[in-house]
Amino acid sequence: MNTRVLVIHDEAEDYLDSMKDRFPDIDFQACPNATSGANVRRFAPEVIFSWKGKPIPAAIHRSYIALPSVEWVHVAGAGIEHLLPFPEGLTVTNSSGICSRFMAETVMAAMLMWSFGFPTYMEQQRGRLWRQNSWVSLSQKTVLIIGVGSIGSAVATLAKAFKMRVLGIKNSLTPVDDVDKMFALDDVHNVLPEADYVCIHVPLTDRTRHFFSRDEFQRMKSSAVLINTARGGVVDEAALVDALRNKHIAGAYLDVFETEPLPKDSALWDLPNLVISPHVSDSVANWQDRFIDFFMSNLERWGAGQQLLNTVDLKKGY
């Protein structure tokens, strides 16, 4: 019997034919909505390509992943917290690293934006106010990268191109290219006062949920800026609102939030020293094609009995 692959995605039909052309000996089935349960169970997939999206709730994904026929799940994205817990013995891979360079560009854009003072000038423009403000070059700034994985490393490389001082935090203290000094996660409180920019690039786990809260904001410079393109749950949003309102920190850029879409009554919307984007830091043109190509490369490895790329450690959660 041919390998059976289920693609959970509301736009799966847009690319399923190309996958069938590349793998004529594999049976593919699309799950484009939340009402496909009976067909999925009859199909009994061995492999699941899971795309997170509002039309198909995470609970639906989890119910299919729990089917006894499933051996391998590939997540179209880096985070897997919405699919936990996985059945014991299941192989899980993700798409971590595929858009790292592009996400790093959004982080650099945020640092440049705050360094030059674009939010201030936009506010002045709305008030038709002509006022010239001095600014400090990034070459005189320090960035603290919390989580020096594929994205954090890409941020470090770009930051070094601007001659920034780069500090990194990671579980391992192994030297990383373009990072001037590495610290352990437990040292974060000691390092925060040195940073002009604090960039978050860690997965959402039990350890990192609300990792950034009131105490962390109190330890940052009053001139510092927080940048979060990782997961909204890593930051205590109530504490961030307080820190921004009371000028404990100078500003923040958020691309991710504890609840998405961000509720219209959220206090975050009205903060003048906060810039918001709607979880798009990885939405570079043709990003879907990059995820599809990576999955198909792993599918080839699966068929050849080779080790899969980006295997997730389910105990660590990433």
Structural domain contains residue 45: yes
Instruction: Decide if 271 is inside a domain.
Output: yes
Task: Check if the beta carbon of residue 212 is closer than 8 Å to that of residue 190.
Answer: no
96-131: pLDDT as tens digits: 999 999 999 999 999 999 999 999 999 999 999 999
pLDDT at residue 1 above 70?
no
Residues 212-261 have pLDDT tens digits of 999 999 999 999 999 999 999 999 999 999 999 999 999 999 999 999 99
Q: Known catalytic residue: 237?
A: no
The Cα 213–Cα 201 span in angstroms is: 16
Statement to judge: residues 124 and 212 lie in one domain: yes
Structure-block tokens of residue 257:
């939030």
Residues 218 and 112 in one domain: yes
Containing structural domain, residue 270: 100-276
- Residue 116 in any domain: the answer is yes
> Of 189, 198, 181, 180, which Cα lies nearest the Cα of 114?
198
| In the block, residue with structure tokens 């990782």 | 230
Marked catalytic residue, from 9, 61, 74, 231: 231
Q: Domain with 230 in it: what CATH number?
A: 3.40.50.720
pLDDT in tens, 25-62: 999 999 999 888 889 999 999 999 999 988 899 999 99
Are 48 and 105 part of one and the same domain?
A: no
Q: Is residue 250 part of a domain?
A: yes
Side chain identity at residue 83, one-letter code = L
Rounded distance between C-alpha atoms, residue 306 and residue 318, angstroms: 21
**Which candidate in 4, 82, 279, 290 is catalytic?**
279
pLDDT at 112: 98
| Statement to judge: residues 14 and 155 lie in one domain | no
Which of 13, 123, 260, 300 is flagged as catalytic? 260
pLDDT at 293: 96
- For this structure, is 260 an active site residue? yes
Find out whether 203 and 78 touch, Cβ atoms under 8 Å.
yes
Mean pLDDT of 3-8: 96
118 contacts: CB under 8 Å, gap ≥ 6 = none
| % residues pLDDT > 90 (the chain) | 89
**Mean pLDDT across the chain:** 95
Do 88 and 109 belong to one domain? no
CB 66 within 8 A of CB 90: no
pLDDT of residue 170: 94
How many angstroms separate the CA atoms of 4 and 39, rounded?
13
169-225 pLDDT, tens digit each: 998 889 999 999 999 999 999 999 999 999 999 999 999 999 999 999 999 999 999
Q: What is the rounded CA–CA span in Å between residue 242 and residue 132?
A: 29
User: Does pTM top 0.95 for this prediction?
Assistant: no
Domain count of the fold of the chain: 2
Is 279 designated active site?
yes
Dihedral over Cα of 115, 121, 122, 123: its sign: positive
Q: Please check whether residue 237 is in contact with residue 257, taking contact to mean a CB–CB distance below 8 angstroms.
A: yes
The 3-state DSSP composition of the chain as helix, strand, coil percent (nearest 5) reads 35, 15, 45
pLDDT (mean) for 8-16:
92
